[in-house]
Amino acid sequence: MKMKTKIEQKFNFEDLMVYQKALEYVDYVYKITSGFPRAELFSLADQFRRAATSICLNIAEGSGGSKLEFNRFLRIARRSIRECIAITEISLRQRFINNEDRHKSRDYCVEISKMVSGLMKSLK
């Protein structure tokens, strides 16, 4: 007997380019923080991962409400982006990441921030 494969249901936010880019950034943050010293696993590395993840989570959560609510969640996502910028700089200063990682992290943050701002404008 042949089993039918169930078609996976998608949520609207999953098609947003900004959500996809934010997921890429989470992957990148997990990659670079895996090289942090053990002593940082439950402090800066964990905070970096939570801030990057927060960007995705706020886009997803906010998309299910009104335009006003979505804008509020997108503002929170932008704050998490700024947090990632600060953590990136601290990580460089503490020599947990190199300059190349710093630039790549900042590039992701700038791009995602622009995308979030554009989405916010489109909701008005």
Establish if 4 belongs to a structural domain: no
Percentage, residues of the chain above pLDDT 90: 84
Distance between CA atoms of 116 and 60, rounded to whole angstroms? 12
pLDDT of 37 strictly over 80: yes
Asked, for residue 1, whether it belongs to a domain, the answer is no
> Can you give the pLDDT at residue 8?
78
Give the number of domains in the chain. 1
- Which of 27, 21, 33 is closest to 107 using CA atoms? 21
Distance spanning both ends of the chain, measured CA to CA: 53
Question: How confident is residue 10, by pLDDT bands cut at 50, 70 and 90?
Answer: confident
30: CATH? 1.20.1440.60
Q: Does residue 77 contact residue 54 with C-beta atoms inside 8 Å? A: yes
DSSP 46-73: HHHHHHHHHHHHHHHHHTTS-HHHHHHH
